Amino acid sequence: MDGRAASLTITDKIPYFLEAGVKPIVFSAITGLKDERFPHKQFLAWGPSAFRFDFRHWIANQYGRGFIYKLLTRTVSILLAPFIGIEKLLLGYSSQWSWALPAFVRGYLLIRSGKVDVIYSIGSAWSAHLAGVWLKRATGLPLISEVHDPLVIRKNPNDQGFEKPKNRDARFRHYLESQLCKYSDYVWWFTDGALHYAKVRNPNLNTPGNARGFVVMPGANPPGEMQGTSQHQYGEYLNLCHFGSLANDRSLSIVLRAAHTLFQKYPDARNHLRVHAYGAPLDSLSVATINQYGFSDVLLAHGRLERDPVSGKSGRERVAQKMQEADALILLHGNDEWCAEYIPSKFYDYLWSGRPIWGITHRNPQLDQMLLDRKSYLSADGDEEGIAMALERIWLDWQQKQLLQPIWQPIGVDQAVSSILSHIAQEKVVS
């Protein structure tokens, strides 16, 4: 799916796997484009809530979001409503769980026909891992698992994640993590923190007869034509740009409050500072802060950049262009405890832009060190005085046309595939 982080993390690896001689048979939902380079099976989830979700995306891709979309999606929603209620009452899982059902059935048939050597589950959506575990237990084939986001969400620094959650979906994810650590031949996470806490909860990890766990840094291919640094042009405005999702726990309101402090000290900055948000609607805290300070001309929300029919550029290519036009890129990490186990995927795209990054991070030494190694501006989420000081430094550097020149150290996808294949080759899991 164009521009979606979870999809890019998968699709960017494919050329390197193909080059290494891997012949994938891909199972996915119907919400993205079908890849023609290899067998690609797209399944509708069998549960009513996931069916409704997938159907909406499929209709939007086929007919746009006009009259036909509204008519068909509303009709399907009404027809499915009682079944969705029953599903929620009986199970209480997130809607995508039922995608595992068709994936298991089709996967089992392919394995029994001798067309599969290794099962590879990738999520993002935990239904992929559920299907992987089912197939491993049913067939005995090697299973390797790539966990994008932590399955167990801790509440605070003292919480190790042992307590069984009351929420049924969270409780099932807790169980699924233990299944991956038991039945996978290899399982990897994207940060040191995620691996650390998984080991704490699953001491069997990396012991004989259980999964071997490690860290793979996912990286990213250049999002468009960004192949190197370019000479930056300073203009009338200091343009700070954020790309990606926003929420009340990952909000541009902290930047706007720092801007308010900056304007009090440097009134002229009010005429020149602009914050641009691409990729998602504004969160409610950002909207409230805009209204509080009258910053409707300071924070500009551009929404999601889709494919441009005139230029032919994909959404990802348009994003790449906007990144390189920015004076500095804002990397919001969030303020939840799970930030200790998470690095925003947009960070890897930022590294290709050659523009300075202003990271506002939370309890993640690995991310902090990567930012510092590449000569970035760095603040801690919750430290409002420190965030205001960082914005003041960016403002003064911009005035003097001396914004930090980042050290060019992008992290490509080739290293991720090389790491995966080298770990597997050591034990000759793949024949």
pLDDT for 226 beyond 80: no
Given this model, what pLDDT does residue 430 score? 46
Q: For the chain, give the percent of residues with pLDDT over 90.
A: 79
Query: 238-399, what's its fold?
Result: Rossmann fold (3.40.50)
Average of per-residue pLDDT across 327-345: 96
Q: CA-to-CA distance for 161 and 196, rounded, in angstroms?
A: 12
Q: What is the pLDDT of residues 387-402, one digit of tens each?
A: 999 999 999 999 999 9
- With bands split at pLDDT 50, 70 and 90, how would you rate the model's confidence at 431? very low
pLDDT: which is higher, 88 or 330: 330
Give φ, ψ of 362 to 5 degrees: -140, 110
pLDDT range class, residue 124, cuts 50, 70, 90: confident
pLDDT band at residue 257 under the 50/70/90 scheme: very high
**Which residues make up the CATH 3.40.50.2000 domain(s) of the chain?**
238-399
Mean pLDDT across the stretch 375-380?
98
92: Cβ–Cβ under 8 A, 6 or more apart, which residues?
167, 168, 169
Q: How far, CA to CA in Å, does 19 sit from each of 14, 150, 430?
A: 9, 30, 15
Q: Are strands 238-243 and 377-380 parallel, antiparallel or unpaired?
A: unpaired
Pairwise CA distance, residues 250 & 152, whole Å: 19
To 10 degrees, what angle do helices 384-399 and 253-265 make? Answer: 60
Residue 190 has pLDDT above 50, yes or no: yes
What are the backbone angles phi and psi of residue 355, rounded to the nearest 5°? -100, 150
Mean pLDDT of 168-182: 97
Contact indicator for 220, 8 with CB cutoff of 8 Å: yes
- The Cα–Cα gap between 202 and 161 comes to 10
- Confidence bin at 230 (pLDDT 50/70/90): low
Highest mean pLDDT among 10-14, 261-265, 320-324: 261-265
Helical packing angle, 253-265 and 284-293, nearest 10°: 20
CA distance 9 to 148: 9
- What distance, in Å, lies between the first and last C-alpha atoms of the chain? 31
With cut-offs at 50, 70 and 90, classify the pLDDT of residue 5.
low
- For residue 76 the two structure tokens come to 């399907």
**Average pLDDT estimate for 193-209:** 96
Q: Name which of 124, 123, 147, 143 is nearest 133 in CA terms.
A: 143
Mean pLDDT of 309-334: 91
> So what's the pLDDT on residue 307?
83
What does the pLDDT read at residue 165?
92
| Residue 315 or residue 380, greater confidence | 380
**What is the pLDDT at residue 4?**
64
Average model confidence (pLDDT) for the chain? 93
Mean pLDDT to the nearest integer, 358-374: 98
Query: CATH classification of 5-219+415-427 is 3.30.9, yes or no?
Result: no
Would you state the pLDDT for residue 65? 85
List, in sequence order, every residue forming a beta bridge with 300; answer none if it has no partner.
276
- Determine which of 97-106, 287-296, 366-375, 417-426 has the lowest per-residue pLDDT on average: 417-426
Least Cα distance to 429 among 143, 166, 148 occurs for 143
Q: What is the pLDDT of residue 292?
A: 98
Place of tokens 């003064």: 396
Provide mean pLDDT across the span 229-239.
Answer: 88
Specify the pLDDT at position 231. Answer: 78
**pLDDT, tens digit, 9 for 90 and up, residues 29-87:** 988 888 999 999 999 999 999 889 888 888 887 888 889 999 999 999 999 999 999 99
Q: Is pLDDT at 125 greater than 60 in this prediction?
A: yes
311's tokens: 């230029």
